[in-house]
Amino acid sequence: MKINEVLLQSVTKIIVFIILTLAIYLFFSGHNNPGGGFVGGLVLASSFVLMLLAFDIETVKHGIPVDFKLVAALGAAIVVITGLGAVVFGEAFLTQTFRVFDIPVFGLIELSTVTIFELGVSLTVVGVVVTIILSISEDVS
């Protein structure tokens, strides 16, 4: 019996964008509100999981031609390098800093080095989750 996936596929096409928006929102809101790099990364990964469930691997790979192993490696590298960044400025390893900037139009915005650190966390989470799921499911086929 062939399962009709039209419904799931149509819904996925819309929902993925909502999830992606949510992921980016969670990522940036983490500083002062619930969210953060880890959750942001997981939500991002779950959108990929949804796509993989709705479509087959080839389609997803064609749409997103990214090697997720490299994404994970990049994330881990960012995390370590941000730590070393503090050493360059003579601070202890992994010291984070922040400063409030007054930017026209946007108003007061707080910029923080933690964001870069969290970006690394997110990328690693996305990379690892999708790598695991892809490698297991590719083995099935």
Q: What is the contact surface with another protein in residues (CB under 8 A)?
A: 26, 30-39, 42-43, 45-46, 49, 53, 69, 72-73, 75-76, 79-80, 83, 87-88, 90-94, 96, 98, 110, 112, 114, 117-118, 120-121, 124-125, 127-129, 131-133, 135-137, 139-140
Residue whose CB is less far from another protein, 12 or 128: 128
For residue 88, the minimal CB distance to another protein (Å) is 6
Q: Is the CB of residue 57 less than 8 Å from the CB of residue 140? A: no
Residue whose CB is less far from another protein, 26 or 55: 26
Residues in the chain: 141
- Give the DSSP letter string of 85-136: HHHHTTSPTT---EEEEEETTTEEEEEETHHHHHHHHHHHHHHHHHHHHHHH
For residue 83, the minimal CB distance to another protein (Å) is 6
For residue 134, the minimal CB distance to another protein (Å) is 9
- Alpha-carbon distance values, 95 to 78, 90, 100, 113, 138 (Å): 14, 10, 17, 9, 41
Q: Is the CB of residue 127 less than 8 Å from the CB of residue 37? A: no
Residue whose CB is less far from another protein, 55 or 129: 129
Residue whose CB is less far from another protein, 63 or 88: 88
The label of the residue with tokens 């192993």 reads 69
